[in-house]
Amino acid sequence: MPDAVVESSMIVFFVLSSVLALLLTRAYLRKGEKSYMYWSIGFWFFALSDLLEVLFAFGAYSQVIAQLYLFVIAFMVIPLAMGSLRLIKSEFARLVYFGYSFITALVLAYFTFTSTIGDMVSGGMVNGNIPMNVLISSSLITFPATVIIIAIAAVTLVRMRKLKMAWIILGMLLFAFGGMLYIASMPVAIYYVEFFGLVALWLGFFDFATIGSVGSRRKRRR
C-alpha cells in the first residue's frame, strides 16, 4: 500500500474515532447513562491508538510508542465491555468483571512495559510482531471482553429491537473482533474491521435525519 494512502487513511481513522468519542461523551452528558460513559472512555483509548498509528505511518517509532500502542489496543475493550455490562441489572457481574479486568490490566501493563518490542511496523502499518507474554496477557483481556459484548448484544437486541442499537452493538462487536484479529497476528485485517466498525457506530450514534431537518428549516426561513 503506498505511503500516502496509509498516512491519509490513518489520519481519517483518527479523526472519525475522535469525533465518535466526542459524540459518545456528549451522549453521556445529555443522558447520564453509564454505558455511554464507559463506551466513550473506550473510544478515547481507541482514538489514542489511531493517533499512534498515525505516528507509525509517518515513520515515528520507538520502544515507548510501541509499548503504549500494544497496551492501549488491548485495554480499550475493557471499558467497551463494561459499557455493555451497564445494560444488564446484575451488579455482581459488573463487580466480578471489574476485579478481573483490573488484575489482567495490571498483568498486561507489566509485561508490555517491561518487554523489548521488536520492529512491528512495516510500510507504515503494524505487522503484529509482538512478544509471547504480551500476546497471552492481551488475550486474557480481549477474549472475555468479546464474549461479554456478544452475549449482552444478543440479549439487548431481543429486548429493545431498535435499529440504532443494532448498529451500535454491531460496531462494538467489530472493534472487539478487531482486537482478537490483532492477537491472532492478522493486523492488516484490523484496518478493514476498523472501517466497518466506525461506519456502524456512526449509523448508530449520528442522526443523519437532523441534517435534512436543519436544511429544510433554513430553506423555510429564506
Task: For the chain, 222 residues long, give each residue's pLDDT as a single digit of tens.
Answer: 556 666 787 888 899 889 888 988 988 998 888 988 998 999 899 899 889 988 988 888 888 999 999 999 889 989 989 998 998 888 999 999 999 999 999 999 999 999 888 777 777 777 767 888 998 998 899 889 888 887 887 787 777 776 677 787 787 778 767 666 665 556 566 777 778 888 887 787 665 554 343 344 444 555
Q: How far is CA 27 from the centre of its chain?
A: 17
What integer pLDDT is reported at residue 210 of this predicted model? 43
Residue 152 lies in a domain: yes
What is the CATH number for 160?
Answer: 1.20.1070
Residue 133 lies in a domain: yes
Residue 200 lies in a domain: yes
What integer pLDDT is reported at residue 215 of this predicted model? 43
Residue 135 lies in a domain: yes
Q: Are 87 and 150 in contact (CB under 8 A)?
A: no
27: domain range? Answer: 3-207
Does the predicted TM-score (pTM) go above 0.95? no
The bridge status of strand 125-126 relative to strand 121-122 is antiparallel
Q: Are 39 and 197 in contact (CB under 8 A)?
A: no
Q: Are 77 and 197 in contact (CB under 8 A)?
A: no
CA distances in angstroms from 177 to 27, 95, 108, 154, 211, listed in the order given? 24, 24, 19, 15, 32
> 30: exposed, middle or buried (C-beta count within 10 Å: 0-12, 13-18, 19+)?
exposed
Set of cell numbers at residue 35 = 454505558
What integer pLDDT is reported at residue 184 of this predicted model? 59
Residue 191 lies in a domain: yes
Residue 143 lies in a domain: yes
Set of cell numbers at residue 22 = 466526542
Q: Which residue has the cell 429491537?
A: 161
Dist CA 220 CA 222 (whole Å): 5
Residue 213 lies in a domain: no
Half-sphere exposure of 33 (CA within 13 A, CB side): 14
What integer pLDDT is reported at residue 217 of this predicted model? 44
